[in-house]
Amino acid sequence: MTIIIEQPQFDAAAERKVAGDPAELVLDGGFTVPDSNAFGHTFRDYDAESERKKTVEEFYSVNHINQTYEFVQRMRDAYGRLDKTEMSIWECIELLNEFIDDSDPDLDMPQIEHLLQTAEAIRKDYPDEDWLHLTGLIHDLGKVLLHPSFGELPQWAVVGDTFPVGCAFDECNVHSKYFKENPDYHNPEFNTKFGAYSEGCGLDKVLMSWGHDDYMYLVAKENKTTLPSAGLFIIRYHSFYRKPLHKHGAYTHLMNEEDKENLKWLHVFNKYDLYSKSSIRIDVEEVKPYYMSLIDKYFPGKLRW
Contacts with Fe ion, residue ranges (CB under 5 A): 28-29, 140, 273
283 marked ligand binding residue: no
Stretch (H or E) spanning 123: helix 111-125
Residue with smaller CB distance to Fe ion, 58 or 273: 273
Question: Closest CB to Fe ion belongs to which residue?
Answer: 28
21 marked ligand binding residue: no
Nearest by Cα to 208 from 217, 219, 199:
217
Q: Give the separation between CA 169 and CA 45, rounded to whole angstroms.
A: 26
- Return left, alpha or beta for 160; rule: phi > 0 is left, psi -120 to 50 is alpha, else beta: left
Residue with smaller CB distance to Fe ion, 18 or 109: 109
Residue with smaller CB distance to Fe ion, 214 or 273: 273
267 marked ligand binding residue: no
Residue with smaller CB distance to Fe ion, 197 or 305: 305
Whether the Cβ atoms of residue 135 and residue 234 lie closer than 8 Å to each other: yes
Residue 76 beta carbon to Fe ion: minimum distance, rounded to whole angstroms = 18
296 marked ligand binding residue: no
Residue 292 beta carbon to Fe ion: minimum distance, rounded to whole angstroms = 21
Residue 83 beta carbon to Fe ion: minimum distance, rounded to whole angstroms = 24
Residue 29 beta carbon to Fe ion: minimum distance, rounded to whole angstroms = 4
Query: Parallel, antiparallel, or unpaired for β 164-165 and 207-208?
Result: antiparallel
Please tell me whether residue 303 adopts helix, strand or coil conformation.
strand
Amino acid letter, 220: A
| Residues counted in the chain | 305
Q: What is the CA radius of gyration of the chain?
A: 18
Annotated binding-site residues read 44, 101-103, 114, 139-140, 143, 160-161, 212, 238-239, 273
Annotated binding-site residues for substrate read 44, 101-103, 143, 160-161, 238-239
